[in-house]
Amino acid sequence: MRLRDIMPKSLFGRSLFIVGLPLIFLQIFLGYFFFERHWDDVGRRLVLAVAGEIALISDKIILAEENHIIEKQIIEDSANFFGAKIKILPNTILKENELLHPKKTRLDRALSKSLKERIKFSHTFNTTISSNKVMIYVQLPNKVLLTEISKKRLYSSTTYIFIAVMLVSSLLLLSLAIFFLRRQISPLKELSNAADAFGKGDTFYALKPRGADEVRQVTHAFLDMRERIRLHIEQRTNMLAGVSHDLRTPLTRMKLQIEMLSSNEDKIGLKEDVNQMEQMLEAYLSFIKEKELEIGVKSDLSKLVGSIILDAKRNDDIISPKKIETIDAKVRINDLRRAITNLTSNACRESKIVEISLIKKDKNALIIIDDNGPGIKKEDYTSVFKAFYRIENSRNLSTGGLGLGLTIARDIARSHGGEIKLDKSHLGGLKAILSIPI
């Protein structure tokens, strides 16, 4: 077993462990030390005093030489001065085995030791007959002196008060520690939530630097980084949008010039190329425009999948639901619909049988689309996600789109903190797995 296995996992747990453990050790150590000393000093003195009193009474009874009047007087005096209840059991001899001292409890051991020290006659005692009294038997010639003493006279009750005070004060200290630790750790939790939200595409998650200096520094650093990345993305998107937009003017001019060309064969080829370029630019521009407008809301993903299946049916595409679980997740629903539709439309285009599943795995919702089409070779798994990339044999525009579908789908998945993975399907074609954290 390693230290890491027994340490709590969270920062709060660990901090509490670091504060609490020494506190508990200190309490145990102090408690044990005090308890021992207290018993040794106060406890032993109390027991010794009682033993001395009994020794004194025993001696007096012997000196009375069977004079009952004097004996009675001694018993009365003992009750008055020592608070001891005394009885004389006449003609009684304690047997050998009755003289053994009990040694079970701490009180037993202290009594045994002190009585032996003080009383010169054979004697024994019993601490268990009554819960608050101790019986002490001393063998005198022909009779037994029975002394009944309250247990309160033999030990001090402050020991328990001390333990109670110790426990209450440590609980108080611990509650204070918990209160302050929670306050220290909450800014870190907030920061982690903001980082998580940023990973899922929320660049404006409200975050204020709070707490200890170091935590403030980390928060400031995070906020700076987030702002830089946001500006960077914005700048690049604007630039690409600008370039795409500006390219449209020369393209339009080219189209006009082509119309004026005379040779027919070259003209058709060129026209097709220019048209394709134009479509690409349009697709790209609309992709940029539509982005980042939606905000995430908690939605039922099974409903979304159901409506995608219905939409496909309207286009005569059959998608069979295989296993659909009910999963709620905070998503940008239109974006996600677009991502899933991009995957299903590819599958429907490439094959006849298409299956869709929605399942929960770990902390992710998985949307899995299987088809029985030609599939994609393993070495193409990364390339198909590139913008405008289409596999060689589907270059023909009449059978497909521009090659932006997967790029957009993965972009949407990633901006939700998720991912798209490709694999071979059990149906023989492609398996696309879109995962979204929930």
- Map tokens 């425009």 to a residue: 289
Which of Mg ion, ligand ATP, none does residue 43 bind to, with CB < 5 to 8 Å depending on kind?
A: none
Which of Mg ion, ligand ATP, none does residue 390 bind to, with CB < 5 to 8 Å depending on kind?
A: ligand ATP
CB 433 within 8 A of CB 366: yes
- How far is it, in rounded angstroms, from Cα 387 to Cα 54? 104
Longest dimension (CA), the chain: 156
Q: How many CB atoms lie within 10 A of CB 193?
A: 12
- Binding of ligand ATP at residue 435 (CB under 6 A)? no
- Binding of ligand ATP at residue 433 (CB under 6 A)? no
Task: Tell me which residues in 399-418 interact with ligand ATP (CB under 6 A).
Answer: 400-407
- Which residues contact residue 256 at a Cβ distance below 8 angstroms, ignoring those fewer than 6 apart? none
- Map tokens 């677009």 to a residue: 338
- Region binding ligand ATP by CB under 6 A among candidate stretches 123-131, 154-162, 315-323, 390-398: 390-398
What residue number has its CB nearest to ligand ATP? 401
Q: How many CB atoms lie within 10 A of CB 359?
A: 14
Handedness of CA 41, 82, 151, 105 (dihedral sign): positive
Mask: binding to ligand ATP, 258-287, rule CB under 6 A, as x and -?
------------------------------
Residue type (1 letter), 37: R
Among 430, 433, 434, 436, the residue binding ligand ATP under the rule CB under 6 A is 430
- Region binding ligand ATP by CB under 6 A among candidate stretches 39-47, 124-132, 204-212, 382-390: 382-390
- Region binding ligand ATP by CB under 6 A among candidate stretches 60-68, 204-212, 218-226, 344-352: 344-352
Structure tokens at 403: 């090659």
Among 61, 111, 331, 376, the residue binding ligand ATP under the rule CB under 6 A is 376
Q: What is the DSSP string of 23-67?
A: HHHHHHHHHHHHHHHHIIIIIHHHHHHHHHHHHHHHHHHHHTTT-
Exposed/middle/buried for residue 178 (C-beta within 10 Å: 0-12, 13-18, 19+): middle
Among 350, 355, 370, 411, the residue binding ligand ATP under the rule CB under 6 A is 350
CB 140 within 8 A of CB 74: no
Least Cβ distance, residue 399 to ligand ATP (angstroms): 8
Which of ligand ATP, Mg ion, none does residue 347 bind to, with CB < 5 to 8 Å depending on kind?
A: ligand ATP
Residue type (1 letter), 300: D
Q: Residue 134, Cα to own-chain centre: how many angstroms? A: 54
Least Cβ distance, residue 406 to Mg ion (angstroms): 6
- How far is it, in rounded angstroms, from Cα 31 to Cα 48? 24
Residue 51 vs 406, nearer CB to ligand ATP: 406
- Binding of ligand ATP at residue 52 (CB under 6 A)? no
- How far is it, in rounded angstroms, from Cα 238 to Cα 55? 105
Residue 37 vs 377, nearer CB to ligand ATP: 377
Residue type (1 letter), 298: K
Among 58, 112, 346, 435, the residue binding ligand ATP under the rule CB under 6 A is 346
Q: Residue 142, Cα to own-chain centre: how many angstroms? A: 75
Residue 258 vs 285, nearer CB to ligand ATP: 285
Q: Residue 423: phi, psi to the nearest 5? A: -160, 175
- Binding of ligand ATP at residue 332 (CB under 6 A)? no
Residue 102 vs 374, nearer CB to ligand ATP: 374
Among 209, 374, 428, 437, the residue binding ligand ATP under the rule CB under 6 A is 374
- Binding of ligand ATP at residue 375 (CB under 6 A)? yes
Least Cβ distance, residue 262 to Mg ion (angstroms): 37
Residue 346 vs 364, nearer CB to ligand ATP: 346
Exposed/middle/buried for residue 126 (C-beta within 10 Å: 0-12, 13-18, 19+): middle
Q: Which residues bind Mg ion (CB under 5 A)?
A: 346, 405
Least Cβ distance, residue 313 to ligand ATP (angstroms): 18
Chain residues in the site for ligand ATP (CB under 6 A): 342, 346-347, 350, 371, 373-376, 384, 389-391, 394, 400-407, 429-430
